[in-house]
C-alpha cells in the first residue's frame, strides 16, 4: 500500500483526530503552578494510554517534578531486521498559565472550533504550544499504522511536562536514560512556519545569555537639595553605562562581542529572501514603522542570524505617585543577549562585565547577579541527507518550496540532544505567528493540524526510505 492510502486515511479521520486533540486540551496541565499537579499527571496518563493504543510500549516515568512519558515502537521488521533510521520524537504536554483570564473570549480549557476570516481554528490553551503540534506527529503515526499495520521505522517518543517552567528535571533524566533515548535523529515539533503556507525547517536557533547588575552610589538615599550636584547619581551612572553598549548604527561596542558569529551562506540567504516573510506586517503588527536594529542587515537576518544585547529591565529610585526629591542609593539593570554561531556565553559574559567595570565612575560600586544562566546557539547539521528528504516531503505537501529558516528564539532541548545524547535535531513546526502562544485566546489553525499530520506522514515515509 502506498503513501497515498495513509494520506487518505488522515483526511477521512480528521474529525476524530480533532476530538482526540480536544481531549488532551481539556486537561489544564500548567506545570509552573503546584495547584495543577494532578492535572499534569492526568495529561501524562492520557498520552501513555494514547500511545499504547498505537502499539507503542509507553510508560510514565517519575521525576522530582512532572513525569516524563517515554515510548518505544519497532518498525515493520523489528529491531534486528529494521533497515530504516531510529527516530526520537520530542514534545511537551505542559502549558502556560492562562492569566489574565478576563481577556479570554472562551474558556481556555474548553476547546472550540471557530470560523475566522483566515479559516477554522481550534482555540484553547496549549492548542499551538505544544499539544496540537505534538499530536500532528502522533496522528501521522496512527494513520500509518492503521493502513500498514506497523510504523515505517523504529521510533522513540519522549514527552516532558516542564518545558514551560524551565525543564528542571530534563537534563538529569536525559543523562540517566541516555542509552534508552539514543537514536539516529531527533525530531521536534515546537516551532512555527516562516509565513502562512510556507513549510519551514529550522536550520539554526539563537542561544541565550542572562545577566543583571546593581550600581550603588551613596550608602543611603540622599536629599536632592542637599546633595544634588556633588553626589553620584546611580540612575545617571547606569544610563551612561547602558548607552555605551551600542553605537549609532546599532552595533554592539563590547570588545570581542562578535567573536564566533558566522555570515549567512548564500544558498540559505536565497531561501530567506524568497520565503514570503512580510517585513511591513511584522513591524506594523506591534506598532513600528521601521526596523531599529543593527544597520546593514535585513530584518530577518537581524532576527535569525545576528546577536543582540537587549536591556530587559531598568529601575531605581522613587516609583510611587507624585514626586520624592531623592538621589537613590541604587539602580538596577537586567539584560539578555541572543547568541548565534559559535559564540561562547561564558566568555561573552566576562567581556560584557569587563566593558561595564572599565567604565565605572569613582565611588560607583557594582554588584553582579550570581545565578548565571546561558546557553549557546544551536546550528543544525543540514548537510545530513535527512534534511533534504524532509524538505522535499514538505514541498510536496504544501505545494510550495520548503525553506530552511533561522529562529530568533531559543529551544534548549535541541542543544541538549546534541550535548547529552550526541543527536542531531530536525525542527519542523506548523504554528503561525498569530497563534497567541503564551497569551489569551491561543489557537491553532485546523489547516496547520491537518496538513501537519499529512506532512509528518510524508516526512516519516521519506526518512524510512
Task: Walk me through the domains of the chain, giving residue ranges and CATH numbers.
Answer: 3-191+411-464 (3.40.630.10), 207-261+307-375 (3.30.70.360)
Res. 317 pLDDT band, cuts 50 70 90:
very high
Mean per-residue pLDDT for 88-109? Answer: 97
pLDDT of res. 166:
86
What mean pLDDT is predicted for residues 423-442? Answer: 95
Give residue 415's pLDDT.
Answer: 87
**Is 60 exceeded by the pLDDT of residue 1?**
no
The per-residue pLDDT for range 226-246, each reduced to its tens digit, is: 999 999 999 999 999 999 999
Find, among 308, 275, 305, 279, the residue nearest to 293 by Cα: 308
pLDDT at 458 (0 to 100): 98
Chain segment 117-165, per-residue pLDDT in tens: 989 999 999 999 999 999 999 999 999 999 999 999 999 999 999 999 9
Share of the chain above pLDDT 70, in %: 98
Is the pLDDT at 258 greater than 60, yes or no? yes
Write the pLDDT tens digit of every residue in 37-55.
999 999 999 999 999 999 9
Confidence grade of residue 255 (pLDDT, cut at 50, 70, 90): very high
| Residue 2: band (very low, low, confident or very high) from pLDDT cuts 50, 70, 90 | confident
Residue 414 CA to residue 410 CA, distance in Å, equals: 9
Q: Which backbone phi and psi does 363 adopt, to 5 degrees? A: 80, -5
- Mean pLDDT of all residues in 187-216: 94
**pLDDT over threshold 60, residue 62:** yes
**pLDDT of amino acid 83:** 64
209 pLDDT above the threshold of 70: yes
pLDDT at 343 over 60: yes
According to the model, what pLDDT value does residue 108 have?
A: 98
Mean pLDDT calculated for residue range 444-452: 98
Cell of 37: 499537579
For helices 131-148 and 446-464, the axis angle rounded to 10 degrees is 50
pTM attached to this predicted model: 0.86
For residue 80, is pLDDT > 60? no
Average pLDDT, the chain: 95
The whole-number pLDDT of residue 410 equals: 75
Question: Do the bridges between strand 308-316 and strand 330-339 make them parallel or antiparallel, or are there none, so unpaired?
Answer: antiparallel
- Report the residue count for the chain: 465
Q: What is the pLDDT of residue 285?
A: 84
**251 has a pLDDT exceeding 80:** yes
Residue 372 pLDDT exceeds 80: no
Band of the pLDDT at 78, cuts 50, 70, 90? low
Q: What is the mean pLDDT of residues 219-224?
A: 96
pLDDT of residue 14: 98
Q: Is the pLDDT at 222 greater than 70, yes or no? A: yes
Tens of pLDDT, residue by residue over 376-421, are 898 899 999 999 999 999 999 999 999 999 988 778 898 899 999 9
3: pLDDT confidence band, cut at 50, 70 and 90? very high
Amino acid at each position: 500500500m502506498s503513501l497515498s492510502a495513509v494520506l487518505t486515511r488522515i483526511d477521512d479521520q480528521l474529525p476524530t483526530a480533532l476530538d482526540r486533540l480536544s481531549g488532551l486540551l481539556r486537561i489544564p496541565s500548567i506545570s509552573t503552578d503546584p495547584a495543577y499537579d494532578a492535572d499534569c499527571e492526568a495529561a501524562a496518563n492520557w498520552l501513555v494510554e494514547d500511545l499504547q493504543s498505537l502499539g507503542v510500549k509507553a510508560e510514565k516515568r517519575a521525576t522530582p517534578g512532572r513525569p516524563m512519558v517515554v515510548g518505544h515502537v519497532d518498525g515493520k521488521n523489528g529491531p534486528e531486521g529494521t533497515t530504516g533510521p531510529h527516530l526520537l520524537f520530542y514534545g511537551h504536554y505542559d502549558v502556560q498559565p492562562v492569566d489574565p483570564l478576563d481577556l479570554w473570549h472562551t474558556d481556555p480549557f474548553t476547546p472550540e472550533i471557530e470560523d475566522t476570516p483566515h479559516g477554522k481554528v481550534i482555540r484553547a490553551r496549549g492548542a499551538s504550544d505544544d499539544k496540537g503540534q505534538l499530536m500532528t506527529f502522533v496522528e501521522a503515526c496512527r494513520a500509518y499504522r492503521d493502513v500498514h499495520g506497523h510504523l515505517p521505522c523504529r521510533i522513540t517518543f519522549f514527552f516532558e511536562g516542564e518545558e514551560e517552567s524551565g525543564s528542571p528535571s530534563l537534563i538529569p533524566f536525559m543523562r540517566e536514560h541516555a542509552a534508552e533515548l539514543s537514536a539516529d535523529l531527533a525530531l521536534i515539533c515546537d516551532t512555527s512556519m516562516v509565513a502562512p503556507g510556507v513549510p519551514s525547517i529550522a536550520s539554526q536557533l539563537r542561544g541565550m545569555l542572562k545577566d543583571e547588575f546593581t550600581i550603588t552610589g551613596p550608602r543611603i538615599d540622599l536629599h536632592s537639595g542637599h546633595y544634588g550636584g556633588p553626589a553620584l547619581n546611580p540612575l545617571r551612572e547606569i544610563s551612561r553605562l547602558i548607552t555605551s553598549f551600542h553605537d549609532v548604527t546599532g552595533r554592539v561596542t563590547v570588545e570581542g562581542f562578535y567573536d564566533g558569529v558566522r555570515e549567512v551562506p548564500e544558498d540559505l540567504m536565497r531561501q530567506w529572501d524568497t520565503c514570503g516573510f512580510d517585513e511591513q506586517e511584522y513591524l506594523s503588527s506591534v506598532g513600528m514603522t521601521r526596523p531599529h536594529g543593527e544597520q546593514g542587515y535585513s530584518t530577518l537576518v537581524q532576527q535569525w542570524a545576528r546577536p543582540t544585547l537587549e536591556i530587559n529591565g531598568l529601575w531605581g529610585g522613587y516609583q510611587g505617585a507624585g514626586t520624592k526629591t531623592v538621589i537613590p542609593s541604587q539602580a538596577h539593570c537586567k539584560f539578555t543577549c541572543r547568541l548565534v554561531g559559535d559564540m561562547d556565553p561564558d566568555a561573552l559574559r566576562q567581556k560584557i562585565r569587563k566593558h561595564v567595570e572599565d567604565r565605572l565612575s569613582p565611588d560607583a560600586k557594582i554588584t553582579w547577579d550570581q545565578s548565571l544562566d546561558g546557553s549557546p546557539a544551536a546550528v543544525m547539521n543540514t548537510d545530513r541527507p535527512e534534511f533534504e528528504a524532509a524538505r522535499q516531503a514538505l514541498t510536496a505537501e504544501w505545494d510550495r518550496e520548503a525553506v530552511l529558516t533561522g529562529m530568533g528564539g531559543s529551544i534548549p532541548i535541541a542543544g541538549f540532544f546534541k550535548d547529552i545524547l550526541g543527536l542531531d535535531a530536525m525542527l519542523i513546526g506548523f504554528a503561525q505567528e498569530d497563534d497567541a502562544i503564551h497569551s489569551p485566546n491561543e489557537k491553532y489553525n485546523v489547516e496547520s493540524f491537518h496538513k501537519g499530520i499529512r506532512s509528518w506522514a510524508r516526512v516519516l515515509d521519506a526518512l524510512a526510505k
